A and B are shown apart, each in its own frame.
Chain A
Amino acid sequence: MTEVAVKVDRLEKDLGSNKVLRGISFEAHSGEIFGLLGPNGAGKTTTLRVICTLLSPDAGSVGVLGFDTQVAPQEVRRRVGVVTAEFGVYPRLSARENIAYFAELSGVLDGEVSRKVDAVIDRLDMGSFAKQRAETLSSGQKQKVAIARAIVHDPPVLMFDEPTSNLDVLASREIRQFMVESKGRGKCVIFSTHVLHDAERLCDRVTIIHQGRVVASGSTAEVRGGFQDLEDSFLSLVEAAK
């Protein structure tokens, strides 16, 4: 069994009067793509936000590579990269400057910034537009900038929150390829999505949450069970949870 990279234990979280998470637990390992699945409003984004320390848990705990999010949030942030569907970039900075800014803030040493930024630009094939201002980039190019800034400090845990929801087919495929590649590099990839077709193709293990609770967890094959595909299994589980 590979190393446990992210451990979520009986996590609870309220947002206002809304009880969003009601005791969620799961583990994600290094070298796998872990799917966090559920319908809209299930609590996927809130779970990811707690893992990356943007929100604090009301109960339960979250550990990232041994660091508790409550005790050592900065250590957790050093080890996590997050890509979301909302890939906001600084429009008056070039793509390269956007990436370098986050590299510096993420603690990449001064002498290393340029080399690491160049490396990530090469890896994501961004050379043709790296010097362009971000305001002139296409959606797919901006998404690449968002990925680049999330991985430039080489975090061992990568989280993708509905990363393809605003992208066309070609850009979506590149994201999926990138996730597979990252898994091959030994990263823990957490993939949050409601597109079950993508999850079935990519994920080694999945956890399905519904209304703040885990309704199924295990390898993709285990969760699919006797159903034809993950979508049928998912619908059955959600129906049973009502």
Chain B
Amino acid sequence: MATFGDTLFLLAAFAVLLVLVGIFAWNPVTKIMAERQDKIDSDLDYADNKRQEAQKMADQREAELKSSKEDAVNIVNTAKENGEKQRATLVEQAQSEVATLKANANKDIEQQRADALAAAKNDVADLSLAIAEKLIAKELDPSTQQNLIDQYINELGDANGSH
């Protein structure tokens, strides 16, 4: 004969077990498992975001690096151009200065040569006279020999004037 009391006992025991397991094991542990799932999801999302941000920053840095390289090249080029210009102006200045100096020097030289010639003419006349006086002082009588002296001096003057 069947023991239907066992069925009732089983149903009651199983129902109580179901409730107790649910309260003390299933709910807390599945809650923790869901929380862990959420945490993993959010961590993965967070990591994704961080990775994208890092990528963006790296791109930005790269672009900045490239632009700074271009800047540097520009700066060097400008400096080169400026230097070139400056060099050209300096050379030009120097050349013009040199030309001026040269012209001045030439002028000075010409002046000095003319002065020296004039001085030498007077000196030669005086010197010649002195020599002539010393050579012929005793015999010459200025009045008788005036013709000769004049002729002599004239010859000297011609010789000097031909220069």
A and B held together in a complex: no
Interface residues, chain A, with chain B CB atoms under 8 Å away: none
Give the interface of B toward A (CB within 8 A): none
